[in-house]
Structure 1
Amino acid sequence: MPGPEGFDYEVRGGEVVISHHGRRATVLRGAAAARFLADVEDDDEQELMARVTGNYRRGNERTAKNHPRNAGR
């Protein structure tokens, strides 16, 4: 399964702006921004930004929705 891609971040003053395919996904401020900048040096940037923005789904939502155990939900 391919990993996340298309994420980019920019530091603006005390903020970190994370975008996905050129569109702003989230803005981190304060302690969250500092924690992100410390973690981005050690971890995979794309994976970290996907976790921070909540964009971690891989396209199997429709399959799960149609599964028999989820019928009637």
Structure 2
Amino acid sequence: MNKPAAPAEDGEDFNPAPTRPFDLGFSHRERKDGSLEVLREGRQAALLRGNRAMALLHILNTGSFEQGQQAMAKITGNYKRGNEGQAARHPRRTG
């Protein structure tokens, strides 16, 4: 049985349904200690510190929404999913 997502810190309820065309379900939260928490559907997917946190924050603050979603997906390892293994073993690829 799945637990409902906890409300966000600002009191608003978390809505896991994507609201934008390129929404991959990622969000972020800056901590007081300067680290950056990357969330996927309301759950922590990564915790970044130092240069990695600053680099991702730069992308999130200067890039488009889609670029931010892609950057957070790459950082957390949730970037490539699906048939990559099957495609590598396809007869056309094995020559």
Category of TM-score, reference length = shorter chain: 0.7 to 0.9
Question: Which ranges in structure 1 are unaligned for 5 or more consecutive residues?
Answer: none
Runs of 4+ in 1 over 6 A off after TM superposition: none
Structure 1 residue aligned with 2:31:
12
Q: Which has the higher contact order (CA 8 A, sep 6+)?
A: 1
Q: How many residue pairs end up in the alignment?
A: 68
Structure 2 residue aligned with 1:33:
53
CA deviations 1:18-57 (Å, max 9, x no partner) are 0111221100011111111112122221111111112111
Cα RMSD after superposing both structures: 2.1
Match for 1:48: what amino acid?
A
SS in 1 for 2:74: helix
CA deviation after TM superposition for structure 1 residue 67, in Å: 2.8
The structure where strand makes up a greater share of residues is 1
Greater Rg over alpha carbons, structure = 2
Identity of aligned residues (%): 40
Alignment TM-score, normalising by the size of structure 2: 0.59
Within-5 A mapping of 1:1-73: 3=22, 5-13=24-32, 14-43=34-63, 44-61=67-84, 63-64=86-87, 67-68=90-91, 69=94
